[in-house]
Structure 1
Amino acid sequence: MTPRKACLIFNPVSGSADPDQELERIKELLSTQFELDVQFTTEDVSADQLAQEAINKGDFEIVIAAGGDGTLSEAAKALGETTIPLGVIPRGTANAFASALGIPDTLDEACETILSGKTRRIDIGKCNGRLMTLLAGIGFEAETIEHASRDAKQRWGALAYLVSGIQQLRELELFEAEIETDDKIIKVSAGALTVANAAPPTSILAQGPAGILYDDGLLDITIISSNTWASAIAASYHLLQTGLRGDAAKRDDIGYLRAKRVKITTEPPQKIVLDGEMIGNTPLEVECVPGGLTVIVPMLPAEKISEKLEGLPDLEIEEKPPAIKNE
């Protein structure tokens, strides 16, 4: 059988293991089915640039990204709205993208997933003109990401975000938010808002609903309205527990809903983090692009509950009339 041509995008500075040994192991496993063209990211050459070059060449059947969440998300965004499948080999500190899709976090198992060739069309989002693979966070979520230092992430991995989050909770302040979807306008006091396309259980502030489906054509919006340090700690712990179990949140200071598109304005303006990158301040507009990315994945998502808003403080909901379609 003739090997299929694959572009392997490898980030040599991701993770803490020996990159040379990891690359050799990846090549050993994948060369049984693929003719690999290995490309390395650098400070000047990003994964999305390399993925776009692979697309432009037109002779690769698959693009494989090996690195942390930044590398994987960049490659995914380049391949968004194309038919070229993405193979994922997580080698970072958090590996949220792989975890959200159920992709194993060991080299051998991730490569076995790619060799299985089971592709699935998943959703992506368009967020303030950019493609989104995972989630956008406002308020507390953004502050947590911004203050988690690179050094802390290198030393502690995903725990760096937990440490940063605890520090930010001490400075928690509510803001006024207006959340507009196709069928309603919600006004509420919030400390954090998360709009998720896909998210693993460790993305705590996205875990309002019972599991985040990555191919349902909808976004998942979680609202956190805790107004004290103690209640915010309790809400975060509740979300961690329910997220790990795949249950929906039940606290009155946590709400959630699903929508194809959402616009969020806040007073005062709040910082926005998109897939781990700070992109500016609110307002935020996100639209789901159903089936916008093809990924090789090993599992199917489970069903979930769709909405809970009752109990949130200072809540106002205005139902919108159905949109009139032009004949």
Structure 2
Amino acid sequence: MNRSACLIFNPVAGQGDSEQDLAMIRAILEPEIDLDIQLTTEEISAEELAHEAVRRGVDTIIASGGDGTLSAVAAAVVSTDISLGIISRGTANAFATALGIPDTIDAACQVILQGVTRTVDAADCNGHRMVLLVGIGFEAEAVERADREAKNRFGVLAYILAGLQELRNLHSFDVEIETEDKIIKTSAVAVTVANAAPPSSVLAQGPGGIIVDDGLLDLTIVASLTRAGAIAAAFHLFQTASAGNGAERNDIGYLRAKQFKITTEPPQKIVVDGEILGTTPVEIRCIPAGLKIFVPSREEEEAVEKLEGLPNLTIEEKPSPENSPD
């Protein structure tokens, strides 16, 4: 008996041919999965379709679109027992990258067919479900500047161009950060709280490695006072994160906690999983083990054996125990 799933498909995501994309998804999945295909429209959002699927009691939801679509569907699935499949077709594909999911249609479909799931954390930000991160200050301004037309023309480069343009307006603000056990007051140009984040989300990389199932959120503070300092801080974060190390500059701070309450003076825009959602103050709390998601099998995710290339290598297969002589 075939598995079944609700496929929520955004036909305007990305820069490819959506009809061909949908045809490819169906060709790969439908031999093994009965798909209930739901298309987003200007009137019906991915979030509405996902909530309706949850109400129907489906076992699996597959989301296909950009990061906005994927995050909206994931938000609806948080704290349910529904398995979530991801087929990323967006500009940045941050969602897939952060969770180790391939960002090509064929490979993403194969992950879903394998049926291996992993339970990861989610978060709540001012009443909105969050899977990736909330950016306060610089990142929120840059995301707002990277509009749909720019993303269609330049792809992921649109975010980089928007960030460079936003550097001209760089300004610091006073921030108070309250955790379960301390209150921190400082000045910053950007504060990022991450549940999960790809390497491209440089301003979230203070700890040098974000763990998606530890029941904690990772907060990074960038306090550079000049454009040159902000560029240097971003490059340092990229370097240290690539090496798996925490940042070491004096104008970068980071910490982990179960929840954060953040206030700023003056109020700052916030961006949650790529969408502008008002201004500070903001409260973010981790939802441990809040999301069950299809991921690559362990064998694909990390190598468990590597012997090729060793000098004078010989390998002898031992007989299995049941075939061993008494």
The question of a shared fold, defined as TM-score above 0.5 by the shorter chain, is answered with yes
User: Which of 265, 279, 291 matches 2:289?
Assistant: 291
Which residue of 2 is the match for residue 323 of structure 1? Answer: none
- Matched AA of 2:145: H
- Contact 2:213-2:289 at 8 Å conserved across structures: yes
Which residue of 2 is the match for residue 223 of structure 1? Answer: 221
Which residue of 1 is the match for residue 144 of structure 2? Answer: 146
Shift of 1:244: 3.2
Give CA-to-partner distance per residue, 1:222-271, whole Å, 9 cap, x none.
Answer: 00000011111111111222233333211111110000000011111111
Q: SS state of the match for residue 49, structure 1? A: helix
Q: SS state of the match for residue 170, structure 1? A: helix
Matches within 5 A, 1:180-219: 180-219=178-217
- Please give the alpha-carbon distance, in whole angstroms, between the structure 2 residues aligned to 1:299 and 1:231: 41
- Contact 2:205-2:238 at 8 Å conserved across structures: yes
- Matched AA of 1:157: G
User: Which of 260, 263, 267 matches 1:262?
Assistant: 260
Extract structure 1 runs of 4+ deviating beyond 4 A: 299-302
- Please give the alpha-carbon distance, in whole angstroms, between the structure 1 residues aligned to 2:28 and 2:297: 21
Q: Which runs of 5 or more residues in structure 1 are unaligned?
A: 303-327
Q: SS state of the match for residue 25, structure 1? A: helix
- Please give the alpha-carbon distance, in whole angstroms, between the structure 2 residues aligned to 1:181 and 1:57: 38
Which residue of 2 is the match for residue 306 of structure 1? Answer: none
- Please give the alpha-carbon distance, in whole angstroms, between the structure 2 residues aligned to 1:243 and 1:117: 30
Q: SS state of the match for residue 194, structure 1? A: strand
- Please give the alpha-carbon distance, in whole angstroms, between the structure 1 residues aligned to 2:55 and 2:171: 47
- Please give the alpha-carbon distance, in whole angstroms, between the structure 1 residues aligned to 2:297 and 2:191: 28
- Contact 2:175-2:265 at 8 Å conserved across structures: yes
Which residue of 2 is the match for residue 34 of structure 1? Answer: 33
- Please give the alpha-carbon distance, in whole angstroms, between the structure 2 residues aligned to 1:163 and 1:243: 22
- Please give the alpha-carbon distance, in whole angstroms, between the structure 1 residues aligned to 2:236 and 2:158: 20
Matches within 5 A, 1:301-320: none
Which residue of 2 is the match for residue 308 of structure 1? Answer: none
Shift of 1:53: 1.4
Which residue of 1 is the match for residue 61 of structure 2? Answer: 63
- Matched AA of 2:48: Q
Shift of 1:177: 0.7
Tell me the TM-score normalised to structure 1 length. Answer: 0.89
Give CA-to-partner distance per residue, 1:253-310, whole Å, 9 cap, x none.
Answer: 11100000000111111111111111111111000000111111127799xxxxxxxx
Shift of 1:101: 0.2
Give CA-to-partner distance per residue, 1:302-323, whole Å, 9 cap, x none.
Answer: 9xxxxxxxxxxxxxxxxxxxxx
- Please give the alpha-carbon distance, in whole angstroms, between the structure 2 residues aligned to 1:231 and 1:50: 44
- Is 1:104 paired with 2:102? yes
- Contact 1:179-1:187 at 8 Å conserved across structures: yes
- Please give the alpha-carbon distance, in whole angstroms, between the structure 1 residues aligned to 2:2 and 2:123: 33
- Please give the alpha-carbon distance, in whole angstroms, between the structure 2 residues aligned to 1:129 and 1:18: 35
Which residue of 2 is the match for residue 8 of structure 1? Answer: 7
- Please give the alpha-carbon distance, in whole angstroms, between the structure 1 residues aligned to 2:185 and 2:56: 49
- Please give the alpha-carbon distance, in whole angstroms, between the structure 2 residues aligned to 1:34 and 1:63: 11
- Contact 2:208-2:242 at 8 Å conserved across structures: no
- Please give the alpha-carbon distance, in whole angstroms, between the structure 2 residues aligned to 1:66 and 1:236: 31
- Matched AA of 2:241: G
- Is 1:123 paired with 2:121? yes
- Contact 2:173-2:264 at 8 Å conserved across structures: yes
- Contact 2:111-2:297 at 8 Å conserved across structures: no
Which residue of 2 is the match for residue 166 of structure 1? Answer: 164
- Is 1:92 paired with 2:113? no
- Contact 1:118-1:298 at 8 Å conserved across structures: yes
Higher-Rg member (1/2): 2
- Matched AA of 1:206: A
Tell me the TM-score normalised to structure 2 length. Answer: 0.89
